[in-house]
Every structure is written in structure tokens, then in C-alpha cells.
Amino acid sequence: MKKYYIKKNIIGFIVGVILCTGTFVYAAVTFPSNEVTYDNTESGLSSTSVKGAIDELYTECTKEPTAGDQILEDQPLEKDPYECRYFFTGANPNNYITFNDEEAGWRIISIECDGRIKIIKEANINKNNLAWDRSNSNNWSRPATLNTYLNSTYYNSLTSVARSHVVSSNFSVGEVIENNNDLGIQVSDENGTTWKGNIALSTLSEYLRTNSNKSSCETYSLMKTNYSSCIKTGWMDKANVDYWWTLSPVYDYEYALFAVWDDGNIGYIEAGETVYTGIYPTLYLSSDIQITGGDGSQSNPYTIS
């Protein structure tokens, strides 16, 4: 634990200790001089005076926690070993959230370490046989047809309040090798290429990482082998509903995207396909939102402001 000290001008002694979020600040009063300065080189505080430092820490300690902090305190999630993220895992965790005036219409994929919250829509929005890309390219950044639709027509259909909560972020769009049996390498490959925008889709690794049965379902190869049992331990599965696209392109197949099939198995579908292909938008909520109610269950979803 770091300790940050107030510089003493002549002779001084400690008169106060403030403890806030793991940081100690020792305030020193000097005699006979009234000049007391604060060395803020490492503390991250802006003030160079004792009073200023104490005022800053008081503000920090008394402000309302962000939504991400509130959720992590309410539901202790395990930190992901590959990125600085906390995933909701299991068959049906309490990760429902009301967004865009859709009660329990979205679910939380992960809490990011910077406070952002990544969410995915619960219902398929592909009602008009939309293609991932009409030119059959798996390059999301090109931009793909679906990229344009989600970040224009669909984004503009959100309420003004909902749009104010969305923060433009980097989405992982790197190519993934089929039959990969090392999740760490897959995550690295996905992160190898990024695209910044408001709305995209979930990645293949997010589908795998939200499954709580790590020993049987964590990698592409394991999921292919054990999908019939894996659908019971992963909430992102849409078994017996529809096929749905991920954001992850298949390495060395410029027309194919990884997808989850209607039985929970995984494979790939051509980007130009328009039949039986589900679209579940994902986006990031700003780190400064707060939870105003709910416990995350479907009957009592989180609400935000």
C-alpha cells in the first residue's frame, strides 16, 4: 500500500490520517512556519497543499460509486485471466438491465476495469433478413453492411437518454483460427485488430468466457465436443432459437464469421447469409452511470441513471 507524505518545512509532527480507497495521507503541521506543502508527485491528486489534498480525498470518499463498482460489490465476479474484465457466467446469472426503456431487455456481459459496462440485447433484431455484409466480406471495419446499420439506423432508434449513456469504444474484430484450443491465444488474436464505434456484436471468446464450465466449454475445440452439455452452463446460448453471428472473422476465410448455431454448437456462416441469422447488438455504457434500483434478476433488473 502506497503512502503519500506532506513535506515538513522546519519541524513537524503528524496530526491527521485519512484512509480512503487504500491510500494513506499523512498531514504534517510545521512550527514556527505556517507554510505546509504536499508532495503530490505520486498520489494522483492535483493539490500541493494539505487542505487541498484533504478536500480532494473527502470528495473522492463521499461521492456515489459508479454502476460498475455497485454491481461488483453486489455480485462478486471473478476477474478474467486474459483481460482486465469481470464476466457474468453461468446458466442464468442476475445480469439483466433496463436500457432504452426496455425492461430486462438487455444483459450485462462484463464489467470493464475502467468502469464501463458491456451489455447485449436479449432479443434478436434481425426481422428483415439483414446480412452481416451484403458483399460477403467479414471485414467489419470496411464498414460491413451490419456495421453501418447498427451505428446509424439502429443507434438513432434508441432514445436520447439511452444514447447519452453509450460511450464509443474499441471492439475486438481480429481474425480467429478455427479449432483453436487455447483461449488466451484466441483473445489475443481477437484483440489484434480493433474498431472504434458505438455498437457492434459480441465476440466468439465472450460466448466461451461467459460459460461457467471452464474445463469442458472454455475453448473452441471443447465447445464443439461438449456443446450439448455446455448450453446448460452458459447464459449467452440461444439454443433452439436461432443461429446468430458473432463479431469474430474466421482466419483465412475472407467471407466467413464465427456463429453460434441453434443447437448451441459453434461454427461459421458466410457474411452474406440472410436466413436464420440472429443479430444481438452489444455496446458499452459509460463509466459514470449509477445503479438506481434492481438486483439484476429478470423480474427486478438493474436500472440506471
Tens of pLDDT, residue by residue over 155-181, are 999 999 999 999 999 999 999 999 888
Cell numbers representing residue 96 in the block: 439483466
Clarify whether residues 83 and 228 are in a common domain: yes
Element (H, E) at 190: helix 183-191
Residue 295 in domain: no
DSSP 8-state assignment for residue 153: I
Clarify whether residues 207 and 279 are in a common domain: yes
Clarify whether residues 19 and 99 are in a common domain: no
Clarify whether residues 145 and 253 are in a common domain: yes
- Among 32, 62, 92, give the residue marking a domain's end: 62
Cell numbers representing residue 81 in the block: 485471466
Clarify whether residues 39 and 96 are in a common domain: no
Clarify whether residues 44 and 99 are in a common domain: no
Residue 195 in domain: yes
pLDDT at 51: 67
Residue 292 in domain: no
Clarify whether residues 128 and 30 are in a common domain: no
Clarify whether residues 54 and 83 are in a common domain: no
**Lowest-confidence region among 3-7, 37-41, 237-241:** 3-7
Clarify whether residues 184 and 246 are in a common domain: yes
Distant-in-sequence contacts of 36-43, Cβ < 8 A, 24+ apart: 36/6, 36/7, 36/8, 36/9, 36/12, 37/6, 37/7, 37/9, 38/4, 38/6, 38/7, 39/4, 39/5, 39/6, 39/7, 40/4, 42/2, 42/4, 43/2, 43/4
Residues shown for the chain: 305
pLDDT at 110: 98
pLDDT at 277: 84
Q: Could you tell me which residues come within 8 angstroms of residue 21 by beta carbon, excluding any fewer than 6 positions away?
A: 60, 61
Clarify whether residues 233 and 130 are in a common domain: yes
Give per-residue pLDDT as tens, 98-142: 999 999 999 999 999 999 999 999 999 998 889 999 999 999 999
- Among 16, 33, 62, give the residue marking a domain's end: 62
Query: 172 - beta bridge partners?
Result: 194
For the chain, give me the number of helices (H) and strands (E)?
A: 9, 18
> Other CB atoms closer than 10 Å to residue 78's CB: what's the count?
9
Amino acid at 86: Y
Alpha helices (H) along 13-159: 50-62, 67-74, 145-149, 155-157
pLDDT at 28: 43
Judge whether residue 41 has pLDDT over 50. yes
Residue 294 in domain: no
Residue 58 in domain: yes
- Chain centroid, CA 93 distance in Å: 16
Clarify whether residues 160 and 102 are in a common domain: yes
Residue 298 in domain: no
Q: What is the number of structural domains in the chain?
A: 2
Clarify whether residues 18 and 83 are in a common domain: no
Domain span at residue 10 reads 3-62
What is the C-alpha radius of gyration for the chain, rounded to an integer number of angstroms? 24
Judge whether residue 233 has pLDDT over 80. yes
Percent of the chain scoring above 90 in pLDDT: 68
- Among 62, 83, 98, give the residue marking a domain's end: 62
Helix (H, G, I), strand (E, B) or coil at 12: strand
d(CA 133, CA 155): 18
**Lowest-confidence region among 12-21, 114-123, 138-147, 294-303:** 12-21
Confidence of residue 66 (pLDDT cuts 50, 70, 90): confident
